[in-house]
Chain A
Amino acid sequence: MTRAGWIRLALIVGALALLEAACRHGLVSRHAVIPPSRMIEGAWNAIAADETRADIWLTLQNVVLSLILSMIVGTAAGLMLHKATRFRRALDPLLASYYAVPTFVFYPLFIVLFGLNRWPLVAIGFLFAVVAVIINTLDGLARIPRAFVRTAAVMRLTRSQYALHIVLPAAAPWFFTGAKFAVAYSFIGVIAGEFVVSGAGIGHAIAFAYNSFDNRMMYGLIVLLFVLVGSVNTLLSLWERKLYARRAGR
């Protein structure tokens, strides 16, 4: 681990120890925050119980569905928009202000459209994630250096060779950024949806624990969520770093 990594770890452990001490000595109300050790216990209970395990599993499925859909649709839409220069120019300001729209207001609409099942949740996650993928795809494509395009022409590459061997690697860093956003936004979209109107999933389980004053379960689930999102992000970053370690400097 790097020096910065150790410092980060020390900071987190230190903060947790501080919180633990504060809770145990009554500096923080037990009704508001429970000691981290209890949270971890809660997290373990959540994994151990069949019901919450089913919730976690369901949420993960929905997040992955939203992620896959937004990556496929977002990349395809980005590619098409890149070709349709005029249309793209007209659309640009709309894309830029997209995240000012509170996507969640469409939730009731999706329930009407899809029924009370997983698809309204997936749709919210998808809506949240897809535009980040589109924006990053467009960005990546626009930044392919002109010299690469001309080099490809001089080498008389076919269209598929050009796509596979020039566009893909040249725009890969942006596809990656898009993917990382899509992971985060899919989680946010799906869980926030579950939190508001759903009968299952991590979001619902957290809301349920909250309503029944089950602090240990609530914090346990939140801790689980942190670990989940954190590890997915760390894995993505490690993969990315491995890919680009040696081509830095441009």
Chain B
Amino acid sequence: MSAEHLCLTGVTRIYPATEGHAAVHALGPIDLSLKPGEFFSVVGPSGCGKSTLLDVIAGLARQSAGTILFEGKPVTGEVPDGIGVVFQEDASFPWLTVFDNAAFALRRAGVPDAEVRERVRHTLAFTGLSSFAQAYPAQLSGGMRQRLCIARTLVTRPRLLLLDEPFGALDQQTRLLMGDELLKLWRETGATVLLITHSLDEAALLSDRIGVMSARPGVFIDLVETGWARERDSRLAAEAGFGVVTGRLWAALRDQSIKALAMAS
């Protein structure tokens, strides 16, 4: 394995023209390297191509140009082993209990029953869902369902975790607490994390490094190092350094957001 866990060079995505619609240059060119175990966040104006970036990295969509290397192997429109994704929408399966949802991927992969039980129990405890193991998603709150989706992904022990606005549906306080949970998970698992978020505060609190994207077609216009210690939580918000980071993010984003708004209207 090379020093970089994930390495993008000149990655571009153009949605081809369809009847009545011109082609859309949605993303790139993007150059980006993530170190193993790094917590990287992406912020950018709405519609700048953040979800497109995630799709391409995960192999859910094929890049139009450029190369993506995950653990040294190229990704081209197929999901490689070792990647976990949590989508913005609720993707919990309503026909399965919380336990069976969390066990789903392991069972399909043929992991022995005893090990499945052990790993699921551990992950549910970790995500605060133990007492709901036999409940169905319909009986959970929106935030709990999102936690279930996170649990379902974590149980597979992904080496690269991609999160697309995972806390988008939650209120600010819950977001902060979920962020702390995520940091704990990240420390315990040692996974590399790429988090897409609308919230500058969230990005500033959680990340080692933050990529600021321009209006469409999204490219990185700034990469901000936070310099936080690995042991950290949302109490960082009270520190002076926090304001410096969010200030720098907003300085980079302000013009782009104005541009994106103008483009949309």
Contacts and interface: CB of A to CB of B under 8 A. Distances in A.
Contact of A170 (B81, B95, B108): B95
A148 B92 CA distance: 8
Interface in A94-131: none
Interface string A140-153: 00000111101101
Secondary structure call for the A interface: helix
25 contacts: A146-B89, A147-B89, A148-B91, A148-B93, A150-B60, A151-B85, A151-B91, A153-B79, A154-B83, A154-B84, A154-B153, A155-B104, A155-B105, A155-B108, A156-B81, A157-B108, A165-B104, A169-B95, A170-B93, A172-B95, A246-B136, A246-B138, A247-B95, A247-B136, A248-B138
Interface string A156-170: 110001000110011
Given A147-B87, A147-B91, 9 more contacts: A145-B89, A147-B89, A150-B60, A155-B104, A155-B108, A156-B79, A156-B81, A169-B93, A250-B138
Interface of B: 58-60, 79, 81, 83-85, 87, 89-91, 93-96, 104-105, 108-109, 136-139, 153, 156
Contacts of B104: 155, 165
A241 B139 CA distance: 17
B57 to A, nearest CB: 12
Contacts of B95: 169-170, 172, 247
A124 B100 CA distance: 43
Contacts of A157: 108
Nearest to A168: B95
Interface string A187-201: 000000000000000
A249 interface: yes
A147 B138 contact: no
Contacts of B109: 155
Contacts of A147: 87, 89-91
Nearest to A166: B93
B22 to A, nearest CB: 22
